[in-house]
Structures are given as structure tokens and as C-alpha cells.
């Protein structure tokens, strides 16, 4: 199943609540961060930036042809020039040119320290630093120079940007321009030196190539003379003869093949007629019904198109039509039909005679073509025999000519390079030029005040938010009713606000029972225990009413007369909640008794019955009767059973688990409508676990914003009897103003004017 995604509104209110809770943390960190940024701006000296630009121009105008030492400009070459500008040797050149070793800005910086400290600190550094050698000073100056110099390419162009930082704006522009000019001078000097060395080497190489080319060309001439080799148009004579004879042989063989094909075809036709295989259908056009597909077909077509044969074929076709017509009309053996057949036979014999004459003519043509082929073959064989000897000499001659041409080509190329290098040495063309000279900067480059303050503000906000998140995550205490219900899986009965007593009541109406002597009357002080009575329309009283309502509703399910009030740790206000709940129930007219069962720390007995001499222990030990130890509240009729320990009790859990106490509580159940029991805390002692047979329901008190969640969980997990009969949880001592940062709806709940109409007085 996918995880439940909270709605956007809930996320928004969660974020708003987080900001409301932790905004003081963020606001406390933010001024500190801004102050640190301002302090940095105060102690950091301003730096000014001079900017110059140079162009490595691949399309620059060249007076001379490109040198053998040059190549087309590309990005790799531009990157190489940038590295030259960043090099230590180049930095030393500029430093010596401008005499920067005497400049206090660089000497005192010691590798950039002076660039980030204020003037008093720089002066102290100059006084305390040890004397160093000149070489060390130069190294320090070079280090400081390189740190302030920035060289980069502008986008995907051949433009190099030079930036230099200095505390003096004029000095920054001067050094940036000096770097640009120094680069141009360095490139021209380097190029001139390289071209000079190349020119000297080219001259020596030209002398060697001149001698080698002359010797190779002389060897070619001598070899031709020795072997009597004569060129015709740049080629030997026998090559032309062989080419011509080859052409004649090809043509002769083609003629022989064509004549032989004609002769073979006419011979096949004659054989077919001699065997009486040429039918009337063939004579009527079957031999020429389809287009010819070979030379034989072409020969047949040419033969049948002979004038005589064409005329005879026409006569034959007329007779064949008449013979077919008469046969159908008069019969196959009719005299006229027989005469027509005889005439057709005579014409066929005439065609055969004509074909024989044509065959003799074709045989004569074949013999002539064959004789011509034989003649050409003999002449070609003689020419091939004559050229074999010349071929051997030609191979060696070509090698000699190739060598001579190679030497001559090298010589011509080096001669052209030599001429160009001489011209370039006398007139060097720079590879770069300055396109923008640095001018005096109008404002400082660093530190940028707005940026530093902006970063400090953002850093302060980020740090504040980080601390706020850390504080939020580490806040493992109960602050909302939702936390209680989610972590403990139980109901949050009420959120009891934190209150303070105002003093004592001057006079109050008394409703104490007549059988209660004055010595056992609860003092009428307006303390925390009586707030629910003295301020009945307060939020405190309304919270206690919510606890009572939950207890009354619980009676529908089971008997809920005995209600135990406990907590995890001491001082969470459980005794106050117990007394207030008892006062509220009694004030409503119910018979209520408040029993102090915190045997080890009976704080409520010290508050309500400070002068008591007997109590719960005396009753269960039968040292005193119940009626003789009960105290009463004259204003509400509340009964109170205190605890008076004449010495520190050790086995308190056994007392609470005793049958005598069980009988006492059974008696109280029959005499009172509510029995409110103030119990000891769960975590320090095990006493509460022994009261499961006495108490119907438990109310668990948690101090808001103080009690740790894991402490409460551990305490309840260890007391299954308490958790199983838990009526609910009361969050006590709630700071309502801070609570609104966690639950914004509480503002409307407590301050909305509609709720005020119902009598809220605080």
C-alpha cells in the first residue's frame, strides 16, 4: 500500500507552525551571520581589476607564405598560449620589467597573505617576519603575482582575456597592459629566434639536396644513352606499337567471331531444309516471328531479308494461302490443290539454292577474317619479344627517374621555404594583437559588498534553519494532543494551562459537615488546588471539566468511581490535577473524597492538611478510625484522606497491595460518588503498579514541553495494568502562547470572540 500523502493544506500549516516555533532561532543566527559578513568587508582591503584582451587571429593578413614552423590556429593552440601567460618564467619577466620586487603590495603579501588582511595586520606581519634572501623574495612575489593574475579564453573564440587584481586601480590597469604587451613581444622574439635557426638549417639542407638532385638527374641521362632508350611523347616507342597491335588483334578476333557466327547459322538453316524440317509455318515467317537475341539471330534476319529470298517467300506465302483455301473448298486431293503444292515445292528448292550461295559467300568472309587474325597475332608476338628486353631496362630507368624527381621536389620545396623564412626573419608577423587595453577601473572588484552581505544573509538563514530543524528534531517532548494520541495510542483528555495563585481568600462560605471539627478543616487559600473553584470560568477550570466529563462517560462502560491520578516523574502537577478534579466534582454536589496514596512523597497532604497527625496508614493499621482522620473543605464539602508518615516508609508497594487497603477502598466506594486517588509517579517507584485492584481508571498527567516521550513510553510499557485501564492523558502546565506555535487552531479556540461569549474570563 502506498504511504499516505498529507494534503497540501496540512503541509502548509505544518511549515507555518515550524516557522512560528523556530523563527526566534533563525532571527538570532541571522544578525550574527550578517555581522560576520560586515566584519569581513571591514578587514578585507578592496581589490581593483584591470582587464586587457588579446586576439590570436587565425585569419590574419600574411605578407608571406606560411612558414614550415607555423600551423593553423585552433583551440589547443590558444590553450597553449594561455599556459604561457600563466607560466612562472613569463611572470618573472613582467615582475622584473615593472620592478615589482620593490612594491610593498607584493613583497608584504608573502603569497597572498597581505591581500586578505587589513593594514594593521599587514604592518604587524612586516615587523615580525624573518629576513629572507632575494631569491625567496622573488619566489614570494611570483606566487603573489600568479594568484592575482587570471587568464582565460572568452567563450569559443580566439580571444584571451587577461585580468589582474591590485589594491591600486592604476596599478591593476598598468600590470594588465604590461602582461598583454609582454606577451606580444615574447611571441615576436620567440618567433624570430625560431625562424633564424630554421633559416640556417634550411640553407645547409638546400646545399645537400642540390648535389643529390644533380647526381640523380645525371644518372637518368647516362642510363638512357647506354641502353638506347628513346621517348615518344614521354613514353617509349614500343609501348605505342604494342597498344596499336593489341587494338588490331581485338578487332580481327571480333570480325572472325562474327563471320563464324553467320556461317554457322546459315549452315543450320540449310541442314534443316535438307531434312525437310522447314514447314510451311516456318517459311511463312516463323524464323522471323520474334526479334533476334544473338549474332546468329541477326545473321538469319539478314539472310531472310535478301531480295531474292524475300520475293520467293512472298510467292510461297501466297501459294500457301491459296492451297489452304482450296483444300477446305475442294478437298485435299483436288488437282488444283496438288498443283499448288508442287509450285510451293519448287519455290522451296529455289530458296535452298539461294541459301547455299549465301553460305558460300559467308565462308569466304570467314576465311579472310581468320587469315587477318593470324597475321596480327604474329606481328604482336614479334613486338612482345622485342619489348621484353626493353622492359628490364625501363624498370631501372623509372627507379632512377623517381629518385631524381624526389630530390628535385625536395629541393624546390626547401628552396621556397628558405626564401619565405628569410623574408619572415626580416619582417616578422606577430601571431597575436591587443584588441582591448586595460583602463583604470571605476569601482572595486572584490570584495563585492552586496554579494558578501547577500551570501552572509543566505548563509545565516540556512544555518538558522539548520539549527531550527535540529532543534525541532531534538524536541522529543509532548506539546500537542495529536502527539499524545499518535505516540501513546490513547485519548488526550485536556490541555491544562499553567497558572499561578494570587493569594489568600479573606472570607468564604462554609459547607463543612457538622461532625468535622475545626482542626480538620482544609485551609481556605486560593492556591492551585482551589483555582477551579475560585475561577470557574477560566480555561484551567474548563480543562478539569473535560477530565470529569471523560470520567463520567467512562461509567457507561464500567464502574468508574475510583480514579487514580499519576505521572511519569515527580513535579508534573499530578497532585494539583487530582485536587482540582476532586474540588470540581464536589462543587457540583457529588460526594467526593480525595485520597493521598503517594506514600513516599505526600505533597498534597502537606498542602491541604499540614497539621494532620493521623491518616491513611493509621486507618489500615486500625490505629485510628476513618472518621477521625478525614479532613473537609468548607466551601465544597470535599473530603480528604491524608497520609501521615511518622518515619520514611520502605515497602510502600506492599501497603498499596494489602487486603486492608482493598477493604478500605471498598468502604469508600459505598460511601462516596467519586474517589480521587493521588498516586506516586510511575518511573521512580513501582507503587502505582500495585494499585490495579484498587483503581477503576487512571488519568496520566504529562508536563507540557518537559516530559520526554521515551520516558512516558517506557513508564507505561512497564505498567500494563495502568495502561490497560488508562482513561486518558492530561497535558499539564501548558504555555498557551507557545502552544499556538504548534497548534494554530488553539488561537481561535481560546481567543475567538464567539467562545468569549460563553464566559471565558482569562
Asked if residue 744 has pLDDT above 70, the reply is: no
Q: Tell me what pLDDT residue 423 has.
A: 66
| pLDDT exceeds cutoff 70 at 289 | no
pLDDT value for 267:
81
d(CA 433, CA 180): 9
Residue 294 confidence class, pLDDT cut points 50, 70, 90: very low
- Scan for cell 606481328, then name that residue: 379
Does residue 428 surpass a pLDDT of 90? no
Nearest alpha carbon to residue 140 among 110, 114, 113: 110
pLDDT digits (tens, 9 = 90+) for 583-609: 999 988 899 999 999 988 888 888 888
Query: What residues have CB less than 8 Å from 608, skipping those under 6 apart?
Result: 522, 523, 529, 579, 594, 631, 640, 642
CA angle 270, 276, 278 (to 5 degrees): 70
**In 3-state terms, what secondary structure has residue 7?**
coil
pTM (2 d.p.): 0.52
Q: What percent of the chain has pLDDT above 70?
A: 76
- 33 vs 235 pLDDT, higher one: 33
Look over the chain and give the mean of its residue pLDDT values, rounded to a whole number.
Answer: 78
Q: Residue 437 and residue 442: Cα distance in Å, rounded?
A: 15
d(CA 199, CA 425): 8
CB 94 within 8 A of CB 178: yes
Closest CA to 366 of 484, 263, 470, 475: 263
Confidence of residue 567 (pLDDT cuts 50, 70, 90): very high
Q: How far apart are CA 56 and CA 626, in angstroms?
A: 111
DSSP for residue 690: G
Query: Residue 698 above 90 pLDDT?
Result: yes
Place of cell 563471320: 259
- The answer to whether 114 and 122 have CB atoms below 8 angstroms apart is yes
Q: Which residue reads 604482336 in cell numbers?
A: 380
3-class secondary structure, 236: strand
Q: Are 114 and 108 in contact (CB under 8 A)?
A: yes
C-alpha cell read off for 266: 546459315
Question: Which ranges constitute the DSSP H helices of 44-168?
Answer: 75-86, 88-98, 104-107, 119-128, 134-148
Confidence of residue 745 (pLDDT cuts 50, 70, 90): low
Query: How many whole angstroms separate alpha carbon 480 and alpha carbon 478?
Result: 6
Cell of 5: 500523502
Query: Taking residues 356-376, what's their average pLDDT?
Result: 82
CB under 8 Å to 486, separation ≥6 — which residues?
Answer: none
Amino acid at each position: 500500500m502506498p504511504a499516505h500523502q498529507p494534503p497540501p493544506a496540512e503541509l502548509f500549516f505544518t511549515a507555518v507552525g515550524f516557522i512560528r516555533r523556530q523563527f526566534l532561532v533563525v532571527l538570532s543566527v541571522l544578525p550574527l551571520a550578517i555581522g560576520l559578513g560586515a566584519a569581513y568587508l571591514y578587514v578585507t582591503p578592496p581589490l581593483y581589476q584591470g582587464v586587457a584582451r588579446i586576439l590570436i587571429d587565425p585569419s590574419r593578413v600574411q605578407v608571406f607564405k606560411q612558414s614550415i614552423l607555423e600551423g593553423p590556429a585552433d583551440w589547443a593552440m590558444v590553450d597553449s598560449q594561455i599556459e604561457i601567460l600563466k607560466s612562472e618564467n613569463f611572470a618573472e619577466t613582467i615582475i622584473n620589467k615593472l620592478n615589482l620586487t620593490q612594491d610593498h603590495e607584493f613583497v608584504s603579501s608573502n603569497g597572498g597573505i597581505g591581500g586578505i588582511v587589513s593594514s594593521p595586520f599587514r604592518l604587524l606581519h612586516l615587523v615580525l617576519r624573518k629576513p629572507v634572501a632575494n631569491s625567496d623574495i622573488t619566489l614570494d612575489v611570483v606566487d603573489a603575482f600568479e594568484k592575482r593574475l587570471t587568464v582565460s579564453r572568452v567563450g569559443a573564440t580566439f580571444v584571451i582575456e587577461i585580468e589582474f587584481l591590485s589594491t591600486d586601480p592604476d596599478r591593476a590597469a598598468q600590470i594588465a597592459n604590461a602582461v598583454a604587451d609582454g606577451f606580444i613581444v615574447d611571441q615576436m622574439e620567440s618567433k624570430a629566434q625560431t625562424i633564424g635557426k630554421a633559416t640556417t638549417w634550411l640553407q645547409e639542407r638546400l646545399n645537400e639536396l642540390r648535389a643529390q638532385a644533380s647526381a640523380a638527374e645525371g644518372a637518368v641521362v647516362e642510363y638512357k644513352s647506354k641502353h638506347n632508350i628513346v621517348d615518344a611523347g614521354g613514353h617509349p616507342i614500343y609501348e605505342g606499337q604494342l597498344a596499336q597491335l593489341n587494338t588490331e588483334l581485338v578487332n580481327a578476333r571480333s570480325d572472325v567471331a562474327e563471320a563464324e557466327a553467320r556461317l554457322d547459322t546459315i549452315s543450320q538453316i540449310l541442314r534443316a531444309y535438307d531434312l525437310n524440317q522447314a514447314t510451311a509455318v516456318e517459311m511463312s515467317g516463323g524464323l522471323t516471328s520474334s526479334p533476334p537475341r544473338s549474332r546468329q539471330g541477326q545473321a538469319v534476319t539478314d539472310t531472310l531479308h535478301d531480295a531474292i529470298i524475300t520475293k520467293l517467300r512472298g510467292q510461297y506465302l501466297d501459294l500457301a494461302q491459296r492451297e489452304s483455301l482450296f483444300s477446305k473448298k475442294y478437298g485435299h486431293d483436288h488437282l488444283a490443290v496438288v498443283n499448288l503444292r508442287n509450285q510451293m515445292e519448287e519455290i522451296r528448292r529455289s530458296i535452298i539454292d539461294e541459301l547455299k550461295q549465301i553460305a558460300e559467300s559467308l565462308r569466304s568472309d570467314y576465311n579472310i577474317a581468320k587469315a587477318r587474325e593470324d597475321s596480327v597475332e604474329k606481328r604482336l608476338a614479334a613486338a612482345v619479344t622485342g619489348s621484353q628486353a626493353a622492359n628490364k631496362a625501363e624498370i631501372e630507368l623509372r627507379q632512377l627517374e623517381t629518385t631524381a624527381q624526389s630530390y628535385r621536389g625536395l629541393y624546390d620545396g626547401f628552396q621556397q621555404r628558405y626564401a619565405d623564412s628569410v623574408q619572415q626573419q626580416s619582417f616578422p608577423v606577430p601571431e597575436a594583437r591587443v584588441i582591448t587595453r586595460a583602463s583604470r577601473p571605476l569601482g572595486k572588484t572584490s570584495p563585492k559588498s552586496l554579494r558578501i552581505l547577500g551570501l552572509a544573509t543566505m548563509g545565516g538563514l540556512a544555518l538558522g534553519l539548520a539549527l531550527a530543524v535540529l532543534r525541532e528534531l531534538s524536541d522529543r517532548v509532548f506539546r500537542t494532543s495529536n502527539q499524545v494520541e499518535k505516540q501513546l495510542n490513547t485519548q488526550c483528555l485536556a490541555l491544562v494551562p499553567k497558572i499561578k495563585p494570587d493569594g489568600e481568600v479573606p472570607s468564604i462560605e462554609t459547607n463543612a459537615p457538622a461532625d468535622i471539627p475545626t482542626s480538620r478543616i482544609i485551609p481556605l487559600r486560593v492556591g492551585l488546588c482551589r483555582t477551579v473553584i475560585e475561577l470557574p470560568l477560566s480555561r484551567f477550570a474548563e480543562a478539569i471539566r473535560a477530565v470529569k466529563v471523560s470520567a463520567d462517560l467512562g461509567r457507561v462502560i464500567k464502574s468508574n468511581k475510583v480514579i487514580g491520578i499519576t505521572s511519569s516523574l515527580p513535579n508534573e502537577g499530578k497532585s494539583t490535577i487530582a485536587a482540582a478534579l476532586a474540588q470540581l466534582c464536589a462543587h457540583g454536589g457529588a460526594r467526593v473524597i480525595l485520597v493521598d496514596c503517594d506514600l513516599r512523597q505526600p505533597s498534597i497532604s502537606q498542602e491541604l492538611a499540614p497539621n494532620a497527625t493521623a491518616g491513611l496508614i493509621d486507618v489500615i493499621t486500625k490505629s485510628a478510625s476513618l472518621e477521625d482522620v478525614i479532613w473537609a473543605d468548607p466551601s465544597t464539602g470535599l473530603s480528604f484522606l491524608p497520609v501521615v508518615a511518622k518515619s520514611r516508609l520502605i515497602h510502600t508497594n506492599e501497603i498499596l497491595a494489602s487486603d486492608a487497603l482493598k477493604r478500605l477502598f471498598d468502604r469508600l466506594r459505598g460511601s462516596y460518588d467519586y474517589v480521587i486517588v493521588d498516586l506516586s509517579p510511575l518511573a521512580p517507584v513501582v507503587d502505582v503498579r500495585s494499585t490495579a485492584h484498587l483503581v477503576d481508571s487512571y488519568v496520566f498527567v504529562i508536563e507540557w514541553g518537559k516530559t520526554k516521550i521515551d520516558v512516558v513510553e517506557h513508564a507505561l510499557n512497564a505498567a500494563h495494568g495502568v495502561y490497560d485501564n488508562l482513561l486518558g492523558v492530561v497535558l499539564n502546565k501548558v504555555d498557551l502562547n507557545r502552544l499556538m506555535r504548534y497548534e494554530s487552531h488553539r488561537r481561535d479556540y481560546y481567543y475567538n470572540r464567539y467562545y468569549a461569549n460563553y464566559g471565558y474570563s482569562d
